[in-house]
Amino acid sequence: MHRHFEHALDALKTDIIRMSSLAEQAIAGSIRALLERKPELARDIISNDDQINLMEVRIDDAVVDLLALQQPVASDLRLILAALKINNDLERIGDHAVNIAESAVQCAEHEPIKPFEDITEMARITKEMLRDSIDAFIHSDPEKSRQVLANDDSIDALNKKVVSDLVGVMREHPDRIEHALDLIRVSRNLERVADLATNIAEEVIFIAEAQVVKHHLDKRGAWH
Amino acid sequence: MHRHFEHALDALKTDIIRMSSLAEQAIAGSIRALLERKPELARDIISNDDQINLMEVRIDDAVVDLLALQQPVASDLRLILAALKINNDLERIGDHAVNIAESAVQCAEHEPIKPFEDITEMARITKEMLRDSIDAFIHSDPEKSRQVLANDDSIDALNKKVVSDLVGVMREHPDRIEHALDLIRVSRNLERVADLATNIAEEVIFIAEAQVVKHHLDKRGAWH
C-alpha cells in the first residue's frame, strides 16, 4: 500500500511537470508569435490549448482517484491538494497564452511599435518564475519559492513601465491606439502569469513551513 | 459518523455562501465607488480584501480536515473538491474587485466619460451570474448553471462594445487616454469575474452530470 502510494504520488508530480511544460511552451510560443510577427504560430498556440485543458481534466481525475483509493492524511493530503491547485493555475496560464496569441494575431497586422524590449524581458522573467515555482514544488524547496516571490516585483514594475510608455505612444499616434492596447493586454497577461507562478511558489512555502504567506504582510505592513 | 459528515458538509456550504457574499459585496462596492465617484469607498473595498483572503485560508483548512477525518469517496469527494475550487475562484473575484476599486480611485480624479451604462449593465449581469452559480452549487442545480453559461456571451459582447467605444473616446480626446484605459480595465475585470462565475457553474454541471463541460465544444465544433 505504501509503495503504491509513493508510486501514484510520483506519477502525479510527473503529470504536473508535463502540464507546466505545455503551459511554458504556450507562453513562449505566443510571445515569439508576437515578436516575430507570426500569426500562424499564434493560431497554433490557440488551437493547442485543448491539450492543456484535457490534461487539466486528466490530472483532476487522477487526484480524485488518489484521494479515494489511498485516503492520505496530513502532509501527503496537503501536497495532493496543492497539486490540484497548481494544476488549475497551469490551465489558467494556458488561457493567458491564448490571450497573448490573440493579441499577436492582431499586432501582426500593424507596423511594429515599441516597447518590445520590455515585453521580451517580462517574458523571460515570467518563464523563469514559472519554471522555478514548479521546481520548488517538485523538490519541496521553499528557498527557490522565495526567489519567485522576489521576481514578482520586477514584473509589476516592468508592466507599469510598458503601460506608461504605450500611453505615450497612444497620445502621439492616435492611429496606433488599438495596436498599443493589444500590447498593454500582452503585458497585463504576462503580469497575471507571473501572479500565478507566485501563487504556486506560495503554495510550496505554505506546505513546507505550514505558514500562510499567501496573503502575506507586505512592506507597508498591510495585507498584500 | 454519517451524521457528523452531513453536518460538516453543511458547514462547508454555509462558508461558501458567506465567502460568495463577501465577493459579491466587494464587486458591487467597487462598481458603486466607480459610478458614484467615491474614492473612499474604493479604498474600503481594497482594505477589506483581507477578510476574503483570510476566509479562503479558513475554508481550505476546513476542507483538509474534512477530507482527513471523514475520508469521503465518490460524489461526496467530488463535491468537496469542487468547494475547494470554488473557494479559490471566489478569492480571485475579490482580487478583481480590488483591481476595479483601484481604477475607481484613479477615475474619480477625472471628468466622467461614457460608457458607464454598459459597465453598469455588465456589473448587473455579472452579479446575477455569481449569485446563480453559487445557488446552483448549493442546491446541486445544473439547470441554473446553464443560465450562467448563457449569460457569459452577453458579458463578452458588452466588454467588446465598451472597449470599442472607449477606443473612440481615446482617439477623439487624447487627454482622456489614461481615464479610458482605467475604464477598459474595469470592463476586463468584470469579464474575468463573469468567467469565474462560469467556472463555478461548469463545476456544478460536471458534478451533477459527471460530464466535462468545462472545456466544452462550442457552436463551431471547436474546443472552447
Contact of B105 with B171, CB cutoff 8 Å:
no
B217 touching chain A per CB within 8 A:
no
In a 10 Å sphere around its CB, with 0-12 CB exposed, 13-18 middle and 19+ buried, how is residue B209 labelled?
exposed
Grid cell, residue A70, equals 489511498
Contact of B132 with B147, CB cutoff 8 Å:
yes
Contact of B85 with A88, CB cutoff 8 Å:
yes
- The pLDDT tens digits for A38-62 are 999 999 999 999 999 999 999 999 9
What integer pLDDT is reported at residue B74 of this predicted model?
83
Among A64, A171, A222, the residue with its CB nearest the CB of B81 is: A64
**A174, B178: Cβ pair inside 8 Å?**
no
Q: How many Å lie between the alpha carbon of A73 and the closest alpha carbon of chain B?
A: 5
> For residue A59, what are the contacts with CB-CB under 8 A and spacing of at least 6?
A12, A15, A16, A19, A83, A84, A87
Contact of A183 with A113, CB cutoff 8 Å:
yes
Nearest-5° angle of CA B27, CA B31, CA B37?
Answer: 145
Contact of A148 with A129, CB cutoff 8 Å:
yes
A9 touching chain B per CB within 8 A:
no
Q: How many Å lie between the alpha carbon of B178 and the closest alpha carbon of chain A?
A: 7
Among B54, B212, B215, the residue with its CB nearest the CB of A215 is: B54
B50 touching chain A per CB within 8 A:
yes
The residue ranking higher by pLDDT, A149 or A208, is: A149
Mean pLDDT of A8-12: 94
Q: Is B170 helix (H, G, I), strand (E, B) or coil?
A: helix
- The pLDDT tens digits for A169-182 are 999 999 999 999 99
B81 touching chain A per CB within 8 A:
yes
> For A11, which DSSP code?
H
| Phi, psi (deg, nearest 5) at residue A223 | -65, 135
pLDDT at A198 over 50: yes
What integer pLDDT is reported at residue B210 of this predicted model?
67
Q: Whole-model pTM?
A: 0.90
Q: How far is CA B154 from CA A98, B151, B189, B191, in A?
A: 21, 5, 15, 10
Q: What is the ipTM of this complex?
A: 0.87
Q: How far is CA A97 from CA A41, A67, B147, in A?
A: 12, 31, 28
Among B53, B68, B77, the residue with its CB nearest the CB of A77 is: B68
Helix-helix angle B142-172:A177-209, to 10 degrees: 130
- The pLDDT tens digits for A100-117 are 999 999 999 988 887 689
User: What 3 state SS string does B49-87 have?
Assistant: HHHHHHHHHHHHHHHHHHHHHHCCCHHHHHHHHHHHHHH
Query: What is the enclosing helix (H) or strand (E) of A184?
Result: helix A177-209
> For residue B169, what are the contacts with CB-CB under 8 A and spacing of at least 6?
B113, B114, B176, B180
Q: Is B221 helix (H, G, I), strand (E, B) or coil?
A: coil
Going from the first residue of chain B to its last (224 residues), give the mean pLDDT of each consecutive group of 10, the final group possibly shorter.
85 96 98 96 98 96 92 89 96 97 95 86 97 96 95 96 95 94 96 97 87 48 36
> For B194, which DSSP code?
H
Closest residue by Cα to residue B204 from B152, B131, B128, B139: B139
What integer pLDDT is reported at residue A217 of this predicted model?
43
